[in-house]
Amino acid sequence: NAGVTQTPKFQVLKTGQSMTLQCAQDMNHNSMYWYRQDPGMGLRLIYYSASEGTTDKGEVPNGYNVSRLNKREFSLRLESAAPSQTSVYFCASRTTGGGNQPQHFGDGTRLSIL
């Protein structure tokens, strides 16, 4: 049982390049999330998908797009990367059964944009 798997683990891009970050979960969770984590700060929500077929903006959505490909997979796309998007990106998932439940995280993608 792998939990939440993110690929790639590391990536270096040039300004203006595009990139898709992949996330897959094997826990049959309904909701999935994308966060970014910058030094000295907590995690900030970029986009989320409450259930398959829906996506919504979080706190910092500008410059990103997402696709909920199926129940397992939720991808994050940078269409034209900017240095301000250098960060560590985390994907999370959560079951929606049984009231409030915690989100479970992958180990992140470390993205540097030059």
List of residues contacting other proteins (CB under 8 A)? 4, 31, 33, 40-45, 48, 50, 56, 58-59, 90, 92, 94, 96, 99-108
Question: Smallest gap, in angstroms, from Cβ of residue 73 to other proteins?
Answer: 17
CB of 84 vs other proteins, minimal distance in Å:
19
Between 58 and 63, name the residue whose CB sits nearer to other proteins. Answer: 58
Cα–Cα distance, 85 to 36 (Å, whole number): 9
- Beta-strand (E) ranges in 14-84? 19-25, 31-37, 43-49, 56-57, 65-68, 74-78
Distance, CA of 102 to CA of 94 (rounded, Å) = 6
Q: Minimum distance from CB of 43 to other proteins (Å)? A: 5
